[in-house]
């Protein structure tokens, strides 16, 4: 079960109020929970309901093509790619099919994947919410051309994951009977990991997608519908600390399998709360900058900055209570008292000690930190994390009085890119 520990936030406050948050400060916001919850509901965003969706059509399709393809290539960018990559990096175990994530339009990467796969046994998942993302369409056109040149049946090698009604891909799917799955109209790209964007590839590699959804559903019930305020308190803490100059949030899982979750959260937080205008049309230039890190790796690169650099950061640790494997550290030294602390220890204990030491050292230096903790890594716990972080970001947007669910800055860059391309061709 996902839990959140705010104790070090309070300890820092007791040491120096300008760097932490107190229990009364959080409690003062408790009476406003229902108000902010109602505001979120008024936005009519569908991500909250994804834990209860019917997934039979995804399971049926996955079963119908089982063992048919040796390779799967995902074409997408942003939220249409970060979610699937996070799931695969965290949970995928089986060797086949091999999954290639084409998350950029880098020509060298495109060529590398092309040279790696066998077209006859490759399935391409084309994932874009709008159905018109230029990077993804360009990837699609490239691989479609290669398949047509090889005289392969297009409908046997492509699946579209896109808008139910609108966009270029939806039109082509309808005209050419290409298999397709829908991203609900009221679910934005960065909130789409628990739609077919993430669920289809999960089913195709043998993961239990119902458990993913159960984790999300349980979390929504605990942290949104019932009286557990931890997701809300995380948002309140981020909000209050941003007013105290802590506008950088370090997201630091202590598990290599969860490293990509930090990248997923980077997009979720960045695009959701980085806004020029508030809901009243005032220029506010709101935002909290996410900074992904990995424990214990980044104790040897970024921790010096976190500990003694500017007082502008809140660190969110993600702790795993029980790893799948327990590995003992061999005792290969002789008569060296300086290494005695490793005797009869495991890597599990070493990692736990380093996490505890890092939290303690940051707290001693008046650096606020909060710990999210899961009991183990599996489909259910990852579903919990996805929904918890999405709910918390939704609350944070309401606290900042901005539109959490649009992305005008991103859209403007797309317009300018198209104008530049037109000039290239003239």
182 within a domain of the structure (yes/no): yes
Question: Domain containing 241 — which CATH number?
Answer: 3.40.50.10490
271 included as an active-site residue: yes
Together in a domain, 200 and 80? yes
- Boundary residue ending a domain (180, 207, 234): 207
Together in a domain, 278 and 261? yes
CB atoms within 10 A of CB 277: 16
135 included as an active-site residue: no
Together in a domain, 225 and 80? no
Among residues 135, 271, 384, 398, the one annotated as catalytic is 271
CB atoms within 10 A of CB 118: 9
DSSP string, 7-36: HHHHHHHHH-GGGS--HHHHHTTGGGHHHH
Together in a domain, 75 and 187? yes
Q: Going by C-beta distance under 8 Å and a sequence separation of 6 or more, which residues neighbour residue 292?
A: 250, 251, 252, 259, 262, 263, 265, 266
The answer to whether 223 and 230 are in contact (CB under 8 A) is: yes
Helix (H, G, I), strand (E, B) or coil at 203: helix
Together in a domain, 283 and 388? yes
415 within a domain of the structure (yes/no): no
The model's pTM: 0.95
Together in a domain, 243 and 139? no
- Boundary residue ending a domain (175, 207, 239): 207
DSSP string, 357-424: HHHHHHHHTT--EEEEEESS-SHHHHHHHHHHHHHHHHHHHHHHTS-TT--HHHHHHHHHHHHHHHHH
Which residues of the chain are under the pLDDT cut of 50?
none
Together in a domain, 176 and 284? no
Among residues 300, 308, 419, 423, the one annotated as catalytic is 300
How far, in Å, are 12, 56, 382 from residue 170 at the CA level? 52, 21, 30
In a 13 Å sphere around the CA of 82, the CA atoms on its Cβ side amount to: 17
100 within a domain of the structure (yes/no): yes
Question: β-pairing, 3-5 with 283-286?
Answer: unpaired
pLDDT in tens, 224-272: 998 899 999 999 999 999 999 999 999 999 999 999 999 999 999 999 9
Name the domain count of the chain: 2
pLDDT of residue 340: 83
φ and ψ at 247, to 5 degrees?
A: -100, 10
pLDDT of residue 338: 84
386 within a domain of the structure (yes/no): yes
Residue with tokens 């991500």: 47
Instruction: Name the residue range of residue 100's domain.
Output: 47-207
**Residue 185 to residue 197: CA distance in whole angstroms:** 13
The answer to whether 373 and 384 are in contact (CB under 8 A) is: no
157 included as an active-site residue: no
């Amino acid at each position: 079960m996902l839990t959140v520990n705010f104790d070090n936030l309070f300890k820092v406050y007791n040491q120096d109020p300008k760097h932490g948050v107190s229990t009364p400060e959080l409690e003062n916001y408790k009476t406003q929970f229902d108000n902010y919850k109602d505001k979120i509901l008024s936005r009519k965003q569908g991500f909250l309901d994804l834990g209860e969706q019917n997934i039979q059509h995804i399971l049926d399709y996955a079963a119908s093509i089982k063992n048919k393809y040796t390779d799967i290539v995902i074409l997408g960018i942003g939220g249409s790619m970060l979610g699937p990559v996070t799931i695969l990096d965290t949970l995928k175990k089986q060797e086949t099919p091999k999954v290639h994530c084409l998350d950029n339009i880098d020509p060298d990467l495109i060529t590398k994947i092309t040279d790696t796969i066998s077209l006859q046994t490759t399935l391409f998942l084309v994932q874009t919410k709008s159905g018109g993302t230029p990077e993804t369409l360009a990837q699609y056109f490239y691989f479609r051309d290669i398949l047509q040149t090889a005289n392969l049946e297009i409908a046997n090698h492509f699946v579209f994951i896109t808008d139910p009604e609108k966009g270029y891909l939806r039109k082509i799917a309808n005209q050419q009977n290409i298999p397709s799955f829908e991203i609900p109209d009221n679910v934005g790209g960065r909130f789409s990991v628990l739609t077919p964007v993430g669920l289809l590839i999960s089913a195709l590699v043998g993961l239990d997608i119902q458990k993913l959804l159960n984790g999300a559903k349980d979390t929504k019930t605990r942290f949104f519908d019932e009286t557990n305020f931890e997701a809300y308190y995380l948002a309140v803490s981020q909000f209050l600390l941003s007013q105290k100059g802590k506008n950088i949030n370090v997201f630091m899982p202590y598990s290599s399998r969860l490293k990509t979750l930090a990248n997923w959260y980077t997009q979720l937080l960045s695009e959701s709360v980085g806004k020029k205008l508030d809901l009243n049309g005032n220029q506010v230039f709101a935002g909290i900058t996410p900074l992904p890190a990995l424990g214990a790796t980044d104790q040897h690169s970024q921790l010096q900055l976190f500990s003694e650099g500017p007082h502008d950061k809140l660190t969110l640790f993600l702790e795993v209570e029980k790893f799948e494997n327990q590995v003992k550290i061999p005792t290969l030294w002789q008569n060296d008292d300086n290494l005695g602390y490793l005797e009869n220890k495991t890597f599990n204990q070493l990692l736990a000690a380093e996490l505890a030491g890092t939290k303690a050292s940051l707290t001693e230096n008046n650096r606020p930190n909060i710990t999210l903790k899961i009991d183990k890594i599996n489909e259910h716990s990852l579903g919990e994390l996805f929904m918890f972080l999405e709910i918390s970001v939704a609350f944070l947007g309401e606290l900042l009085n901005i539109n959490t669910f649009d992305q005008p800055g991103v859209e403007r860059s797309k317009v300018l890119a198209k104008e530049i391309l037109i000039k290239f061709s003239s």
